[in-house]
Amino acid sequence: MANPKGERLMQEALDDQLSPEALQELYARLDDDPVEADEFSRLRTVDRLLRAAPHERAPERLAVRIMARLAQELQNPKLDRLSSLAFAIGLTIVALVLVPLLVTFGYLLVTALGSASFFNSVLQAISAAVAASAAFLGLLVESAQSLFSSAPILPVGLLALIPVGLLWLRRLSRQNPPDDKDK
């Protein structure tokens, strides 16, 4: 790929904005560097194709309709409710995971301060748990890599599940509309 100055010169040459001296400089650069010359050739081909392509004129009110639709969607209370639901679920998951961990850590800290042997055994247990977790994650990654290499379409399938899950959440939120009494 060309350096920034070479890229700028190529783009300006395609736009017919180069002075004769700058055009000579570009041609000298292209003579010296076959990679840049090949890149410029490809850019010139794409530029010619785009200039020769038929141009369709969009309806005049298209932009206004698109912006109005975006504004309407952004003001949609269902969207606010869905994002609030996602935030609440995420916050609940974090609380469910962190509160027991913090309580356990506090208990272990208070207990460990009173006994050096207990503190040593706690540190060994924590390091063993971290090592086991790292080994499990490594095994999980290796299994996923071997699975994905044997079935390359699988990651695409997993990515396809994301919109399905979002649609499921949307349907779930439509089944349980919020009470207007709370407002």
What digits encode the pLDDT tens for the residues 93-110?
888 888 888 888 888 777
Q: What is the pLDDT of residue 102?
A: 86
pTM of the model: 0.33
Residues 6+ apart with CB under 8 A from 13: 23, 26, 40
Report the distance separating Cα 135 and Cα 155, nearest Å: 23
**Rounded mean pLDDT of 122-127?**
84
**Cα torsion at 136, 138, 143, 147 (round to 10°)?**
140
Domains of the chain, residue spans: 4-52, 77-182
Q: pLDDT tens digits, residue range 50-104? A: 888 887 777 778 888 888 887 777 676 665 666 677 778 888 888 888 888 888 8
**Rounded mean pLDDT of 168-174?**
81
Q: What is the pLDDT of residue 96?
A: 86
